[in-house]
Amino acid sequence: MQKLTNQKGFTLIELMIVVAIIGILAAIAIPNFMNYQCKAKQSEAKSLLGDLRTAQEAYYAEYDTYTTDLDRVGFQPKGDTRYTIAVTENTTTFTATATEIGNRVSSGQTDVWTMDQEGDLNNSQNGCQ
């Protein structure tokens, strides 16, 4: 019987070390990826509020007042949005609020953004922690 002395391959210890390294890298990378993904989804709220502000300013230029009627200012978001939009006004000022629908942006607390007639953007409740 001949002995095989030139065997090639990986030992079990080597494979276990590789699996452990991959596990450590995944534990670091996945939370960061989820946070970046959440922040990317927040850009929808910023964009919607900016578009609404532009529509409100055009309406104000014509009628000398702001309105809470989104159809009247011509604001109609396209597609399936992740945020609901609401407006409060008192003729010379307005505040628009974008509130996350369900958990479509974050998995924690509800994400809430506001913007006023000056264009001041505020993330009063950040779902991307």
Whichever domain contains 100, its CATH number is 3.30.700
At 88 the pLDDT is: 93
C-alpha separations of 117 from 49, 55, 87, 92, 112 in Å: 10, 11, 11, 9, 17
Question: Is 68 part of any domain?
Answer: yes
Asked if 94 contacts 109 with a C-beta cutoff of 8 angstroms, the reply is: no
Nearest to 45 by CA among 118, 120, 114, 128: 114
Question: Is 6 part of any domain?
Answer: no
For residue 23, count other CB atoms closer than 10 A to its CB: 10
Question: Is 98 part of any domain?
Answer: yes
Distance, C-alpha 49 to centroid of its chain: 13
Helices (H), 2-82: 12-63
At 38 the pLDDT is: 84
At 3 the pLDDT is: 66
Question: Is 83 part of any domain?
Answer: yes
Question: Is 3 part of any domain?
Answer: no
Distance, C-alpha 46 to centroid of its chain: 9
At 37 the pLDDT is: 86
At 106 the pLDDT is: 74
Separation between Cα atoms, residue 55 and residue 74, nearest integer Å = 7
At 57 the pLDDT is: 94
Q: Structure tokens of 31?
A: 């939370």
The residue count of the chain comes to 129
Give the residues of the chain that fall short of pLDDT 70. 1-5, 129
At 122 the pLDDT is: 92
Question: Is 4 part of any domain?
Answer: no
At 105 the pLDDT is: 79
Host domain of residue 38? 12-125
Pairing label, strands 112-116, 94-100:
antiparallel
